[in-house]
Structure 1
Amino acid sequence: MADYLIATLSDRIQAEEVHLALQEIGLSEPNLSLFGKGYKTGEDCKDFDPALIKKRQMQRMMIFLLPLGFVGGIIFYQAVRLDVLPSLGFFANAVIGGFLGAASGALGGYVTGGGLSLMLDKAVPYAEQIESGTFLVVVRDAEDLKMRQANRVFRILNIDNVAYYERPD
């Protein structure tokens, strides 16, 4: 099942009710958290925020593919010998080919790392949602049975906005 089970609620009383119901099934503080005004802040939810996870993944892919693209661009220039600016000479054209390869590597890292979905989805990070007044009830790293029981509690209490996330590690 999921590593994180997150319910987004707009009402403080309902969030406290859900939190209390989850405590009654045996979930305790390391596995159960309540975020919102008067509770944990948005700074504490950076490890499970999907927008931030995608952004970190995209940055890692770009850092990985940038040097590979640079080397690939130099090798491509060596194989094809297509001078971008013939007046600059062999070395300068190889470097220009490397920079073009690095740019394509960065673009590839952006696309494969989730940059397009991050740009098109416009997901609001949980920290901003918490600042705007919503509450999050988060169940994390609980055993499978407890996660299923927590999911059942969310369904019984008619919580519609529930998200499931797995750790990207």
Structure 2
Amino acid sequence: MNYLIAVVSDRIKAEEAYTALEQAGIERSQISILGKGYKTAEEFGLVDPTQQAKKRAMYMAYWLVPFGFAGGYLFNLITGLDNLDWAGDPGNHIVGGMLGAIGGAMGSVFVGGGVGLNLFNFGGDDELSYPNLLDEGKYLVAVKGSEDSRVRATPILRRFKPESLQGYEG
């Protein structure tokens, strides 16, 4: 399924674009308006990438943190490292397990998609996701269908000077 999504500033432009697409012969079932009074991002199937990254990182953490603890504990048990003299054998093994759990947590962030969380906002406000644009009061005109309908819709939507126009293959 192919998608073409145009970000427009107000409701009137979104409705005009919808009407122009309809007049060009694109079926109503392929055109959607997202925004206040229309479909929401969840109804259309748009997912916030930050939310997805959190979900994947947490899913990975459920597996990697316990295995990291077990691996760190066993590594300390096998090698007999004595980093903390005052802790004794069980304390050193537990510290090794804690270090392994920290390694597992780091792995869940880096491998599970947590890098996409953009925790420090290095990209600035230019890289807003579609749900954030909808929260700002903007409207999205989306065309989903074949490659042919996406190609036909592109010049029509460009006439309305959208803030953003992007195509996706899904």
TM norm structure 1:
0.73
Partner of 2:19: 20
Q: Percent identity?
A: 35
Partner of 1:147: 150
The structure with the larger Rg is 2
Q: Quote the Cα distance in structure 1 between the aligned partners of 2:32 and 2:68.
A: 43
Partner of 1:113: 112
What is the CA distance between 1:6 and its match in structure 2?
2.3
Per the alignment, do residues 109 and 158 of structure 1 end up closer, same or farther by CA in structure 2, a change over 3 Å counting? same
More displaced 10-residue stretch of structure 1: 149-158 or 101-110: 149-158
User: Does the alignment pair 1:159 with 2:162?
Assistant: yes
Unaligned residue ranges in structure 2 (runs of 5+): none
Provide the aligned C-alpha RMSD in A.
2.9
What is the CA distance between 1:164 and its match in structure 2?
4.2
Per the alignment, do residues 73 and 56 of structure 1 end up closer, same or farther by CA in structure 2, a change over 3 Å counting? same
| Alignment length (residue pairs) | 164
Q: Quote the Cα distance in structure 2 between the aligned partners of 1:3 and 1:64.
A: 35
What is the CA distance between 1:42 and its match in structure 2?
4.7
What is the CA distance between 1:45 and its match in structure 2?
5.4
Tell whether the 8 Å contact from 2:31 to 2:141 is kept in structure 1 after alignment.
yes
Output the amino acid matched with 1:121: G
SS in 2 for 1:88: helix
What is the CA distance between 1:3 and its match in structure 2?
4.8
User: Does the alignment pair 1:134 with 2:138?
Assistant: yes
Per the alignment, do residues 4 and 90 of structure 1 end up closer, same or farther by CA in structure 2, a change over 3 Å counting? farther
Per the alignment, do residues 37 and 22 of structure 1 end up closer, same or farther by CA in structure 2, a change over 3 Å counting? same
Q: Quote the Cα distance in structure 1 between the aligned partners of 2:169 and 2:110.
A: 21
Output the amino acid matched with 2:143: V
Q: Quote the Cα distance in structure 1 between the aligned partners of 2:46 and 2:26.
A: 24
Tell whether the 8 Å contact from 2:5 to 2:143 is kept in structure 1 after alignment.
yes
Partner of 2:73: 74
Q: Quote the Cα distance in structure 2 between the aligned partners of 1:26 and 1:99.
A: 58
What is the CA distance between 1:165 and its match in structure 2?
4.7
Tell whether the 8 Å contact from 1:85 to 1:93 is kept in structure 2 after alignment.
yes
Output the amino acid matched with 2:157: F
Q: Quote the Cα distance in structure 2 between the aligned partners of 1:145 and 1:161.
A: 20
Partner of 1:100: 99
What is the CA distance between 1:161 and its match in structure 2?
0.6
Tell whether the 8 Å contact from 1:8 to 1:162 is kept in structure 2 after alignment.
yes
Q: Quote the Cα distance in structure 2 between the aligned partners of 1:151 and 1:62.
A: 42
Q: Quote the Cα distance in structure 2 between the aligned partners of 1:4 and 1:42.
A: 14
